[in-house]
Structure 1
């Protein structure tokens, strides 16, 4: 009853209670839209500030309520906060045809006097139904009837264009349209067709992403224009080459990288070093990543080119020497959507082979030089040895002593004998 009366009279309720009953009144407040709870001091001295704080809290959010909505109508509300203003878009779907062809319901913000009366005219049948096209080519090769711009699929066909068959459809495909069970299918901004989200168009801007999680109307704006991509660093590279840009926010994939644009990474190699491994594994089918997780880590598209062309500021020219001593030249480039390319020069710079004649003459010349050098060394060694021996001989000659003496074995040439018969004097 309190809730009905507060809504009927556009009253915002503030519970000013002492601290020991605050938890109780917070539970009450969750049941009463547009209410708030404040802790009152014992002497009630803070009542004015309490009311101001609670009122600011109430006015900081906008909550819509729907009154008198027909049972045959389902409403989906999307809120867009942009430059301090809030815009609501309401999508209506009819799942039944009521007896009354015109019904009115009311939309109003809780605690405000403003109301919006919406009158719905139910058109259960359209004139275009009279000019339907059976087996239309617009319905995936004639698998349905095109009626009022919508395909009515034949039995056993599914999808907005009848592109799926019931035999191929797996109910678990709905899981692919939501990142987790707690999240609505396609974030409530698209339809799950054959296991993939088909995002609905909106007047506020573009909606995209595998789960319709991205949009461009949540981006910062300047004078009504969307600001540049917040993922691009000063050098022009998305997320510093260490992550992916998801909905205008960098998700760092390189281990050790952090920061709003993954610009901080004390343990990370530079972009050229990272992409070098991708060139090796994806193009040449070799390297450390080839046997591991090449396709998971390297999602770049490799484009062979004759020569590198400058792609504005968001490109980096790289080179490295491979296992064959050839210099590989490539360019790392990311376009505006975040898709990366590796432009690889087809012909690497490899060292040229040596001339056979030059090599032969060089070898013969080297042998001759070595032989001549050996002869010179041998001659030098012989000369040194001879000089050493001669010096030794001279030294021994200088030490020799010569003396004069009779040889006891020496006999003269003439022998003297005495004649016994000689009587002379």
Structure 2
């Protein structure tokens, strides 16, 4: 039945449909899909419409090859075979379509297939949809009551996304970029989701020829770049430039037996292609009589185990290596086998042999100037930079000097030493105790030194800062102490460029708050007295109330005693 809005006729056709059965579980749904796709006129597909094909089933499917079980060996031709009554006429004449055939026809006709299947079949159709372009799958209830909602949901998924595909061959790589709905830089993607009606998204397409096909006919191709499920495409006429015109006869750049090639070869695009008996850049060498040997290239190799002439960096011309010229005029390849150069030595900080002041590159190896050593001439021979500013042992006796830098050792008791001169460790105090008294007397006017002793024993004057912080990159040392007032103070010491000591001290000490003991004692005594007076007054109040209650009770009993007194007279 062709597409129509007559729902009553559709219902009638479904009721009239014949029911058939067989012994195997799979059904011939692929035949139905193929005919619904390719019979465009009979079905009534519109050209400018999004085409949806709903396939509903509760069973698996037959595919190409299954027809052989029934004796059908003719493969499916992918053509329309529907008679005037809308029936498929070739079910017994040709095999079922293959998955790739269905996918091809769906792509050619821009149709989105929706598989509405029962729960026991959803797994297999989920895998099938991944092999058919633009297909989707949903679970159908046993009574098919949710078919309308299922189609609506699947349609919303299809219509809210756009995916770009192409028909490029293996020799052509097509890459897509888009930012979709997110503003910002492009990212590599061929699909955008979450679209609404009227939403515009842009794709940037990058086409790259990865290899030239052997067949020259494939050097010109027509690419179709299209959105899945929509019958529109961008046509790209691609011409691969796999050779140059000067490589073909008839072009001015093509000369046979050319003078430029010593009349012994063909001149193509400025390069000589020598005949079998000559070689060289200009075919000037005769392989049969030059130097009296047939294998002249052997003299362009350092030994019999090497298969590459001139180290791969030159041309063997009549048995002699002609080394390649570099684009940089300061770079040269040399040696009888082009094995040497002045640019492939080790580098330090991006400089060849650490720069001209340190060394020179000779035949791939750095030759260092006086005072320098190492593969890249980056190591100082002198150990002066490993001696502390105040003098002393190399690396403070706690390490070794390598390339002018201290490599610190590890002590089993104190752990690993660190610092520029290996003078630090986690349990080392350094010279903190040495400068402590001077900092106290000069900054805080405390400590064991008086003013005169301070001037005699202290050779530096510390600078005062609000907050003391040490910069380890500058080899500064942070010292912290508590003085006799239980106040904490801190300072930093280091050496300047001239080896003189520099000290920065914290301006204010961190002292605990003062405690007034006499005030606390007097306050406690006063509180005890007040509490005692309050208790006495409370006791007095309670006693007074009790006495008054007892007195009132007594007065009440006395008054009652007066009323109870009577006179008794004897009877006459």
Q: TM-score, normalised by structure 2?
A: 0.26
Where relative contact order (Cα < 8 A, 6+ residues apart) is larger, the structure is 1
Q: TM-score, normalised by structure 1?
A: 0.33
